[in-house]
Homo-oligomer: A and B are copies of this chain.
Amino acid sequence: MTKNILILPGDGIGPEIVAEARKVLARANELYDLQLAFSEDLLGGSAIDAHGVPLADATLEQARRSDAILMGAVGGPKWDNLERAIRPERGLLKLRSELDLFANLRPAILYPQLAAASTLKPEVVAGLDILIVRELTGGIYFGEPRGIRTLENGEREGFNTYRYAEHEIERIGRNAFEMARQRQGRLCSVDKANVLEATILWREVMDRLAPEYPDVTLSHMYVDNAAMQLVRAPKQFDVVVTGNMFGDILSDAAAMLTGSIGMLPSASLDKNRRGLYEPCHGSAPDIAGQGIANPLATILSGSMMLRYSLDMAAAADRIEQAVSAVLDRGLRTGDIFTDGCRRVSTAEMGDAVAAAL
């Protein structure tokens, strides 16, 4: 049965890195007869330029009909002054929300070949392997009411609503407990229950679920402390589960601990594990078009896609092994380059991984 993959290159370095991921997936398709069929469409700034909106209805329909989506990145200064409703990010947020992609999995893994790239001391990060499970379709990102209004005294006020219903907390909680069960069995739920009522309920629901997962040890941590602990002793974490906003902040900090954010993939899944896959990093408009961006996070997002949404674990393993082999041979894009390695372009990196399959 054919699997339809929708590719959304997006903006900035998106098209360059996605081209390499597609190259690798196409090669895997050929070698292992995966029956993948690719189509491409616009998202974000490029969609604004073409259609006036960051996510066209036809693209959303195409996304609904696909078995999985591979994305590059969206956004850039060109579109920064548009009003909120039609900014590039809205396309991505709408896609997440419309497809109910509530579970965002963001691994922060230190690749042994890249240990020197971290700004943290080797003993603090060696072997780091954290999974951040971020709620992606609720919280303050989507809460209503929201906006900017004029108060009676004539000044303006900006406002947003942080909101979580029990079922939203429960489904991301279950997802995180199940992930923890497949890993080291430790789940840390991050909230700000000493200040925010929305997260008091969050903590309560996590505690209620815990007895159903006796093989998982649940702990709670305040978000400010979690930000500190990620810097102080990141290896204390196995799986971290948290809301949309805290997850946005903590997952980026965790990714940066590895020094190789250009290496980290992510998955955003619905309840049936249909999903959107994208690198953890952004669209990096400052280096777009130069052919120097690191395509590995996107290539690894492709392998995550095979594993989680398409049940093609063997092919996913092969891609990950190929990436590892290429790193072993010393090939590096500029962001992960260190002395003694060979500096390669975006396309050379993609070629090397495809060839190593």
Bits for A236-271, please: 1 = Cβ < 8 Å to B, else 0.
000000000110111111011100010000000000
Instruction: Determine whether the beta carbon of A232 is less than 8 Å from that of B256.
Output: yes
Q: Is A202 engaged at the interface, CB distance under 8 Å to the other chain?
A: yes
A191-237 contacts to B (CB < 8 Å)? 192, 194-202, 223-225, 227-228, 230-233
Q: For residue A233, which residues in chain B have a CB less than 8 angstroms away from its CB?
A: 119
How far in angstroms is the closest Cβ of chain B from A76? Answer: 11
Q: Is A325 engaged at the interface, CB distance under 8 Å to the other chain?
A: no
> Assuming the A-B contacts A119-B232, A197-B148, A228-B256, are A157 and B162 also in contact, with contact meaning beta carbons closer than 8 angstroms in the complex?
no
How far in angstroms is the closest Cβ of chain B from A221? Answer: 12
Q: How many residues of A contact B (CB 8 A)?
A: 61
Task: Determine which of B156, B158, B249 lies in contact with A224 in the assembled complex, contact meaning CB atoms within 8 Å.
Answer: B249
Q: For residue A224, which residues in chain B have a CB less than 8 angstroms away from its CB?
A: 248-249, 251-252
Most buried by B among A156, A160, A167, A232: A160
Task: Determine which of B155, B194, B231, B248 lies in contact with A167 in the assembled complex, contact meaning CB atoms within 8 Å.
Answer: B155
Q: For residue A147, which residues in chain B have a CB less than 8 angstroms away from its CB?
A: 197
Q: Is A120 engaged at the interface, CB distance under 8 Å to the other chain?
A: yes
Compute how far the CA of A290 lies from the CA of B6 in the bound complex, rounded to whole angstroms. 60
How far in angstroms is the closest Cβ of chain B from A47? Answer: 16
How far in angstroms is the closest Cβ of chain B from A131? Answer: 18
A147-196 contacts to B (CB < 8 Å)? 147-148, 151, 155-167, 192, 194-196
Q: For residue A155, which residues in chain B have a CB less than 8 angstroms away from its CB?
A: 165-167
How far in angstroms is the closest Cβ of chain B from A318? Answer: 31
Task: Determine which of B93, B161, B195, B225 lies in contact with A89 in the assembled complex, contact meaning CB atoms within 8 Å.
Answer: B195
Compute how far the CA of A98 lies from the CA of B245 in the bound complex, rounded to whole angstroms. 28
Q: A75-B194, A160-B196, A160-B197 are in contact. List 9 more A-B contacts (CB 8 A).
A: A155-B165, A156-B166, A156-B201, A158-B197, A160-B163, A192-B245, A225-B282, A227-B227, A246-B249
Q: Which positions in A face B, CB cutoff 8 Å? A: 75, 84, 87, 89, 93, 119-121, 124, 140-141, 143, 146-148, 151, 155-167, 192, 194-202, 223-225, 227-228, 230-233, 245-246, 248-253, 255-257, 261, 282
25 residue pairs from A and B, CB less than 8 Å apart = A75-B194, A87-B194, A119-B120, A119-B124, A140-B140, A146-B197, A147-B197, A148-B197, A148-B200, A155-B166, A156-B165, A157-B164, A158-B199, A158-B200, A158-B201, A158-B202, A159-B161, A159-B197, A160-B162, A161-B162, A192-B248, A224-B248, A224-B249, A224-B252, A227-B249
